Amino acid sequence: MEAHSSEVFVIGLTVFFLACIIGYYVVWSVTPALHSPLMGVTNAISSVIIVGAILAAGPQGFDTSKIFGLIGVVLASVNIFGGFLVTYRMLSMFKKKTKKTKEKE
């Protein structure tokens, strides 16, 4: 954190572009049939901003920042639980069928 802010920014930018490239290749490999679960998962993981909300809510005592942080934690938690659960529900539907067909065969 103590490094020059421009340096930190360049590191961040490096990480950003590399992550975009990884994202590009990983997402193209997702089968179109699972595009809805993909939205569910990305929705859940984008709520990783809960990390920032926790940092804001962290200090003891109550001030504006902490209240914002706690609201952020609640909102992000709705998404994290909701996103992963709904994805789980979708994916388990894709499972049931395979078992059934295999049994039939």
Partner 1 sequence: MVAILYLISALLFIFALRGLSHPESSRMGNIFGIIGMVIAVFTTLMFKSVLSYYEIGAAILIGGAIGSFIALRIEMTALPQLVAAFHSLVGLAAVFVAAAAFYDPVAFSIGKVGSIKTASLVEMSIGTFIGAITFSGSVLAFGKLQGTISGKPIVFKFQHLINALIFLLIIFLIILFVINQSPTIFWTIVIVSILLGFLVVIPIGGADMPVVVSMLNSYSGWAACGIGFTLSNNLLIITGALVGASGAILSYIMSKGMNRSIINVVLGGFGGEQDTSASKDNSDKIVKQGNAEDAAYIMKNADSVIIVPGYGMAVAQAQHALREMGDILKKEGIEVRYAIHPVAGRMPGHMNVLLAEANVPYEEVLELDEINHDFPMTEVSFVIGANDVTNPAAKTDESSPIYGMPILDVEKSQSVLFVKRSMATGYSGVDNELFYRDNTTMLFGDAKKMCEDIVKSLSA
Count CB atoms within 10 A of the CB of residue 68. 13
What type of residue is 71? I
Smallest separation (angstroms) from partner 1 to the CB of 43: 5
Smallest separation (angstroms) from partner 1 to the CB of 10: 11
| 103 touching partner 1, by CB under 8 A | no
Looking at residues 4 to 43 of the shown chain, list those that interact with partner 1 (rule: CB under 8 A): 5-6, 8-9, 11-12, 15-17, 19-20, 22-24, 26-43
Three-state SS at 5:
helix
DSSP state string for 57-80: H-SSS--HHHHHHHHHHHHHHHHH
Looking at residues 35 to 94 of the shown chain, list those that interact with partner 1 (rule: CB under 8 A): 35-60, 63-66, 68-94
Contact 38, 30 (CB under 8 A): yes
Smallest separation (angstroms) from partner 1 to the CB of 60: 5
